[in-house]
Amino acid sequence: MERFGARYLEERKLIQRWPQPIPAIVALVLTLAVFYATWWIFQDPRGWLRMYTPYVGYMYTRWWLIMLIWMVYIFNYWPFKRNWLERTHPVVKGVILTAISVAILLVLIKGFFESLLGNYGIAYFNPDNLMKLPKMTEFFALEYASLACLMFAAIASWLSPAWVVACEEVPWQDMNQPGKGISILVMTFFLSTLVFFMTMHSHMGILYYPWQYFTSIAPPYWEKFANTVSGNFHVAWIMCCTVTVWLVETIWERFPFKLIRRDWLRRVTAFFGIIAIAWAMHFFLYFAQELTWGPAIRGTRLINAPDWRWLHVGEMAVFFLVPALFLNFYCGNWPRRFSLPVNVLIRTAITLAAAVLLYIFYYATSHDFLGTQKGFMHEQQFPMIPTIWLINIWLAHHWFMDNWPAWKMEPKTAEEITRDHAAERAQLAEIRWSPALGWGLGVGTVCGVAFYFFVLNILPWAYKSITVIK
């Protein structure tokens, strides 16, 4: 039975052409060159197509991410056969699969959201229909329609991989493609629709005057709790969910959830555990802004406003994802020499440190290189767009092109696959209750609490001492 690309990523062997760090440097230089060239062509306000308006560019960026996830994680490269994936040159494979992802992207946005939903369901998905409203300008009609579409994408970019990573494709894991892919797609799209209407629809309803009381909850139910009527409150925790899913899948290797032996308990715990971790990140990053810039004041704008700070939570979260994916894709998920918990701890520490440095570097230089506006809080400063654009390029390079040219791909033999599975089982078997594990958990808890209070004390000092933007 043809498996198409099921487990292709796990069963391929990427062989470095040179010793590290040369392959990682080559991959970084190559992908950054592609990033900057494509950014200039499609996104940069000084470039050709100038899609960074910012919402139009963000809409296409976010939906392209989902197309890549659908093609690889949900449909397992269907309809391309495993033999084609293994034998086709990486450049040819990358061009064909990327072109297909863009074609599906255009059909979905222009056909499904704009033409179908925008004409026969909900007007705010179609900018032409929004133009019929009194005093609505063409620019804001396009921005509002793009905002609605990308808000749906934000939810789908969390739930689509979560069903694979946390729920392990259940109950369709044994189905053949495309039946399995269609089933998972329909389920996650249905869940995304429910979450959209409960979190984002009311945000769209209050963008127009008078508020749309009879088609949305106005003011939204989260107003008093989040201190804002803006849907940015939900954008923040949903973005944290997206980041957490990929942290669990990459540098955490699905730890600690895969330690749970009972299948249904592992899947339920992983799905809601990811949400719990994301909410902890969500509130901490908001609290960190209050420590840095002072309490938020409702009624103000930009850096002091609660709605911007909730949005900035999502922006900060995505900075963690960039180094995590680079560590996984191009550094072999280094380190691997220690026990799984220690490896995960070291990778997480590296990711945190790299995210802070990337955050500082981005805000200090992005206005010079990317055409964004200088500052933290300008309406034309959306770090989620260039960071996810870079991530999309990495995904295409890693998933479609097998990290070419610094790596070459060879299929693993049956013996190698069996040996890998045995090694993973042995690694998990080592993590069992013992006095040493108890001491480790205790010390880890104490260190975690100490680190939390250390961060609380260092943030105000860091804000006063480090000048990011002159």
Report pLDDT digits (tens) over 292-325. 999 999 988 789 999 999 999 999 999 999 999 9
CA distance 297 to 432: 49
What is the overall mean pLDDT for the chain? 94
Beta bridge partners of 220: none
Peptide bond into 178 cis (omega under 30): yes
CA distance 230 to 43: 26
Distances (CA, A) of 378 to 57, 228, 465: 16, 19, 23
Beta bridge partners of 412: none
Alpha-carbon torsion 45, 49, 55, 60, what sign? Answer: negative
Q: What is the pLDDT of residue 302?
A: 83
Kind of pairing, strands 407-411 and 12-16?
Answer: antiparallel
CA distance 374 to 368: 8
Q: What is the pLDDT of residue 2?
A: 74
CA distance 87 to 83: 6
pLDDT in tens, 322-371: 999 999 999 999 999 998 999 999 999 999 999 999 999 999 999 999 99
* Average pLDDT estimate for 390-397: 98
* Beta-carbon contacts of residue 96 (< 8 Å; ≥ 6 apart): 88
The region of weakest confidence among 14-23, 140-149, 439-448 is 439-448
Whether pTM exceeds 0.75: yes
Q: Where are the alpha helices (DSSP H) in 172-299?
A: 179-199, 201-205, 223-226, 232-249, 263-293
Judged on CB neighbours under 10 Å (0-12, 13-18, 19+), 385 is buried
pLDDT band, residue 1 (cuts 50/70/90): low
pLDDT in tens, 171-218: 999 999 999 999 999 999 999 999 999 999 999 999 888 888 888 999
pLDDT for 435 beyond 70: yes
